[in-house]
């Protein structure tokens, strides 16, 4: 009964509260919308320009609603655009990047899972020290390793080859994957492992039957991190490969740096999207798990 009364007649205080509530909600959505526009416009600009005709871009500038739709620029960027003398577009570089990223991701993830398992569940004297040593690799600037890698790749006959880049990314990646997996496996109760050992399960059996089934959340994080990181890497790609052997990031820089007078924005936009697509797809499908896993275990 007491609750009916305030609703029946006008209550200035409650009206003010409602108004305040409305404006604060408005403010929240305004902020989000403003930033969403800032974040999305560059993406939309590139997508639109990859579909517009070059003459239209030249006339109306880069930021404009498309008046023409065609996929010629994509076909050119993929297969026939000329970069420094060769007219094969981006496809070779795209496959170079795949041939580099997929094996390096798989190998470094497997090694990281094994290392993390050992360093959390099969500790021995000095294992903490070894973990900290591996951790240092996370923080090394790539520039420190440039000269040693140049020498080593030369000795191994892997200069200007995708295999050389795979090797670099595996060695560099171990520290990240080990860190992620070790921090995740630490939270698996030791009693579980102890019980399995009493039942006679050995090193591999425990890994297969207990650790691996619990691993998908952290393996997703590791794979996404490694895949996007290696695919997007530029420094080693541009230093240790050239021309036909370059990964797509290095090729993109070569393509967009071409000092021609008329910039072919349509083809360059399509090329940029080709280079961005694989990590974007991975992120769109796995991003949810990535953020969850990253905040659960990786950053501590």
Partner 1 sequence: MSTHDLIVPAAAAAARPWRERLGTMVPILVLAPSIAASFIYVFVFTFWTLYISLSNSSLLPTYGFVGLDNYASLWANRRWNIAYTNLFLFSGFYIVGSMAVGLLLAIAIDQRVRGEAVWRTIFLYPLAVSFIVTGTVWSWLYNPVDGIQAFVRGLGWTDFSFALTANRNTAIYAVIITGIWQSSGFAMALFLAGLRSVDPDLVKAAQIDGASVFRTYRRVILPTIAPIFLAVAVIQIQFAIKTFDLVAALTRGGPGVSTTFPAIYVYDLMFQRGQIGEGAAAAMMMLAAVAVVLVPYSLWIVWRRRAEGRNG
Site string for partner 1, 123-152 (x = CB under 8 A): -x-----x--xx-xx-xxxxxxxxxxx-x-
Tracing tokens 């694989």 back to the chain, one arrives at 278
Closer to partner 1 by CB, 75 or 201: give it: 201
Does residue number 210 form part of the binding site for partner 1 (CB under 8 A)? no
**Of 114, 192, 196, 220, which lies in the binding site for partner 1, with binding defined by CB under 8 A?**
114
Tracing tokens 């140049």 back to the chain, one arrives at 150
71 close to 62: Cβ distance less than 8 angstroms: no
Does residue number 63 form part of the binding site for partner 1 (CB under 8 A)? yes
Q: How far is the CB of 213 from partner 1 (least distance, A)?
A: 19
* Phi, psi values for residue 90, rounded to 5°: -100, -5
Does residue number 265 form part of the binding site for partner 1 (CB under 8 A)? yes
**Of 32, 87, 212, 214, which lies in the binding site for partner 1, with binding defined by CB under 8 A?**
32
Closer to partner 1 by CB, 5 or 109: give it: 109
Give residues with Cβ within 8 angstroms of 44, minimum separation 6: none
Give residues with Cβ within 8 angstroms of 161, minimum separation 6: 241, 245
Torsion of CA 230, 234, 238, 243, to 10 degrees: 70
Does residue number 65 form part of the binding site for partner 1 (CB under 8 A)? no
Q: Which of residues 269-288 bind partner 1 (CB under 8 A)?
A: 272, 275-276, 279-280, 282-284, 287-288
* Phi, psi values for residue 86, rounded to 5°: -100, 140
Name the 3-class secondary structure at 141.
coil
Distances (CA, A) of 252 to 102, 165, 198, 213, 255: 20, 17, 56, 40, 5
Give residues with Cβ within 8 angstroms of 83, minimum separation 6: 251, 254, 255, 258
Give residues with Cβ within 8 angstroms of 76, minimum separation 6: 89, 267, 270
Site string for partner 1, 162-201 (x = CB under 8 A): --------xxx-xx--x-----------------------
290 close to 220: Cβ distance less than 8 angstroms: yes
Site string for partner 1, 68-107 (x = CB under 8 A): ----------------------------------------
**Of 53, 54, 56, 64, which lies in the binding site for partner 1, with binding defined by CB under 8 A?**
64
Closer to partner 1 by CB, 7 or 132: give it: 132
Residue 153's closest CA among 273, 240, 81?
Answer: 240
| Of 69-77, 157-165, 209-217, 229-237: span binding partner 1 (CB under 8 A) | 229-237
Q: How many residues of this chain interact with partner 1, rule: CB under 8 A?
A: 84
DSSP state of 300: -
**Of 15, 16, 17, 28, which lies in the binding site for partner 1, with binding defined by CB under 8 A?**
28
Closer to partner 1 by CB, 162 or 247: give it: 247
Does residue number 249 form part of the binding site for partner 1 (CB under 8 A)? yes
Q: How far is the CB of 221 from partner 1 (least distance, A)?
A: 12
Does residue number 222 form part of the binding site for partner 1 (CB under 8 A)? no
Residue 82's closest CA among 254, 215, 262, 200?
Answer: 254
Does residue number 16 form part of the binding site for partner 1 (CB under 8 A)? no
């Amino acid at each position: 009964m007491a609750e009916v009364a305030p609703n029946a007649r006008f209550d200035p205080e409650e009206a003010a509260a409602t108004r305040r509530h409305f404006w604060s909600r408005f403010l929240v959505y305004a902020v989000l919308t403003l930033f969403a526009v800032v974040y999305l416009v560059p993406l939309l600009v590139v997508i639109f320009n990859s579909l517009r005709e070059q003459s239209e871009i030249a006339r109306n500038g880069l930021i404009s609603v498309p008046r023409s739709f065609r996929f010629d620029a994509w076909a050119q960027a993929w297969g026939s655009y000329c970069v420094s003398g060769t007219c094969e577009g981006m496809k070779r570089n795209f496959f170079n990047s795949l041939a580099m990223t997929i094996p390096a991701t798989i190998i470094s993830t497997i090694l990281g899972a094994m290392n993390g398992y050992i360093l959390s569940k099969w500790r021995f004297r000095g294992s903490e020290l070894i973990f900290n040593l591996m951790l240092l690799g996370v923080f090394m600037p790539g520039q420190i390793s440039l000269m040693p890698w140049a020498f080593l790749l030369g000795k191994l006959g892997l200069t200007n080859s995708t295999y050389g880049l795979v090797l670099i990314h595996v060695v560099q990646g171990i520290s990240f994957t080990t860190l992620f997996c070790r921090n995740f496996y630490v939270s698996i109760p030791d009693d579980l492992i102890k019980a399995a050992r009493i039942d006679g399960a050995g090193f591999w059996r425990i890994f297969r039957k207990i650790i691996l089934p619990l691993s998908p959340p952290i393996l997703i994080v590791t794979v996404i991190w490694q895949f996007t990181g290696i695919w997007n890497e530029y420094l080693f790609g541009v230093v240790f490969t050239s021309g036909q052997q370059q990964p797509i990031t290095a090729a993109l820089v070569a393509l967009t740096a071409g000092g021609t007078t008329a910039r072919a924005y349509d083809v360059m936009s399509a090329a940029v999207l080709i280079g961005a697509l694989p990590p974007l797809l991975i992120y769109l499908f796995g991003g949810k798990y990535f953020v969850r896993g990253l905040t659960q275990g990786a950053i501590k």
